[in-house]
Amino acid sequence: MHPVSRGELFDPVFGAQQLSPLLSDQAWVTAMLDVEGALAHAAADAGVIPGEHAVAIAAAARTLADTLDPALLGVEGAAGGNPVIPLVKHLRAECAPVGVPGASVHTGATSQDVIDTALMLLAQRAGSVVAAQVTAAADAAASLASRFRDTPMAARTLGQQALPTTFGALAASWCSALDRAHHELARVLTTLPVQFGGAAGTLAALHPHGLDVADGLADELGLARQTVPWHTDRTRIGALASALGVAAGAVAKIATDVVLMAATELGEVAEDSPGGSSAMPHKRNPVAAVAARAAALRVPGLVATALTAMPHEFQRAAGAWHAEWETTTDLLRLTGGAAHRIAVCLSGLHVDGDAMRRNLDATGGALLAERVTGALAAHTDRARDLVTAACLAGRPLDADPAITEHLAPDRVRELLDPARYLGHAGDIVDRVLASRSTTPKEKSL
């Protein structure tokens, strides 16, 4: 039984249980053998090898996917710098007893063709799960936006209370960001191409059939056809890494908001199944948000690695290519895990409207000093100075003589009502939700 996890101890914490088997060493081996089997069929369709050889090679590849030990392949691949070299040897040995010559196996391909194409398969398979997790999180945010469309809360800028907003508007902004991230990730996933260029990117060993084999290989695997081989054009990897990084960033922003709002001093939200502490019985930690943030925080460094590795020299990179393999799979695992954990968090989030109102009242009306200043300006040119002085002195605005000289206390209290100064918060929620109800979702971007 081969290991099917990148990390059995920590994957559940960071939400990667569903993704990890799709990105494990065993998944890598299976994907590489899928490429070899599909290549055989594509070569046969182009008349390069006999059809019966292709059938035998594909069958042998399926057998090896169940029997070949990734650990053994890793040891054997160290000398050549990649696992494809020994994998092809094992595949040829498996095919030999049924009369398939070695020349029919891996025909016209180079190791990078197999690894890059296998990576595209892994990204496609795991990426669909990542995209679904992002959508699940967006759906949960949309539900919160709808339910709490008109629930006032303090908007905070630079860590300080600014003006009133609604929790619905905040959740709608979460939803919009996740939808945008999903759209870009989905777009990138649909364009993941086959890689097939042969030893130096010219497909010379298969001329004049090389391009036909490349297109056939793409069709066999359900990948996009390549325009040209991209051995050292790493824009595809960069685009995938960037899309995953943006998605992780959208998740991290939400997780950060939830962690701060769940703090004892604010108490505005709480997770459905909060975690405890090994030492402090009173703790109710927002664990899902914490785990989502932790997974997402690891992503930017990996995106930087992928982008840093983009300048591959000439027709084959020495090291930059190798740096992409685990980087890309880790990006998929961590982004998907973060999205899963934030979806869990938002799906059961408890929103305390009373705590939000209590926090709105914490400044004694200073939160709406802007509105009072605006009304006072119609009566005196010193409006800003008068309101500022009252706020600095800690005097309630509806009891400050310099203000009530011009505005009645009842009028000031009316101006200080957060529910009367929400701007377009509700409209923002409505616009986001309406855009999601129309297809395609790109309209909400």
Q: Which of 109, 141, 158 is the endpoint of a domain?
A: 109
CATH, residue 103: 1.10.275.10
Q: Which range marks the domain in which residue 260 is found? A: 110-193+230-354+424-445
d(CA 273, CA 276): 10
In this prediction, residue 377 carries a pLDDT of 95
209 within domain boundaries: no
Please determine, for residue 365, whether its predicted confidence score (pLDDT) is greater than 90.
no
Kindly state whether residue 66 falls inside one of the protein's structural domains. yes
Which of 147, 273, 277, 437 is an active site residue? 277
What's the mean pLDDT when you consider all of the chain? 93
User: Do 280 and 169 have their domain in common?
Assistant: yes
**If pLDDT is split at 50, 70 and 90, which confidence band does 278 have?**
very low
- CA quadruple 40, 44, 48, 53: dihedral, nearest 10: 70
The answer on pLDDT for 444 being more than 50 is no
- Domain assignment present for residue 161? The answer is yes
Identify whether 150 is part of a domain: yes
The reply to whether 215 falls in a domain is no
Strand partners, 261: none
Tens digits of per-residue pLDDT, 391-435?
Answer: 888 888 999 999 999 999 999 999 998 888 999 999 999 999 999
pLDDT bin (cut points 50, 70, 90) of residue 1 is: very low
CA dihedral 229→233→234→239, nearest 10 degrees, is -90
Same domain? 239 vs 115: yes
Helices 25-45 and 84-95: angle between axes, nearest 10 degrees? 60
Residue 363 confidence class, pLDDT cut points 50, 70, 90: confident
pLDDT in the model for residue 279? 44
- Mean per-residue pLDDT, 133-137: 98
Say yes or no: 385 and 261 in one domain. Answer: no
Whether the per-residue pLDDT at 219 is higher than 60: the answer is: yes
User: What is d(CA 188, CA 242) in angstroms, rounded to the nearest whole number?
Assistant: 10
Q: Can you tell me the mean pLDDT for 319-344?
A: 97
Structural domain contains residue 41: yes
Kindly give, in sequence order, each residue whose CB lies less than 8 Å from that of residue 373, ignoring residues fewer than 6 positions away.
Answer: 383, 384, 387
Per-residue pLDDT reduced to its tens digit, 41-95: 999 999 999 999 999 999 999 999 999 999 999 999 999 999 999 999 999 999 9
Query: In the predicted model, is pLDDT for residue 443 greater than 70?
Result: no
Could you tell me which of 34, 64, 53, 63 has the C-alpha nearest to residue 104? 53
Q: pLDDT band for 34, please (50, 70, 90 cuts).
A: very high
Look at the chain and report how many structural domains it folds into: 3
Same domain, 101 and 116: no
Give residue 5's pLDDT band: very low, low, confident or very high (50, 70, 90). Answer: low
Residue 367: what pLDDT? Answer: 84
- Is 381 inside any structural domain? yes
Of the residues 62, 316, 382, 395, only one is catalytic, namely: 316
277 is catalytic: yes
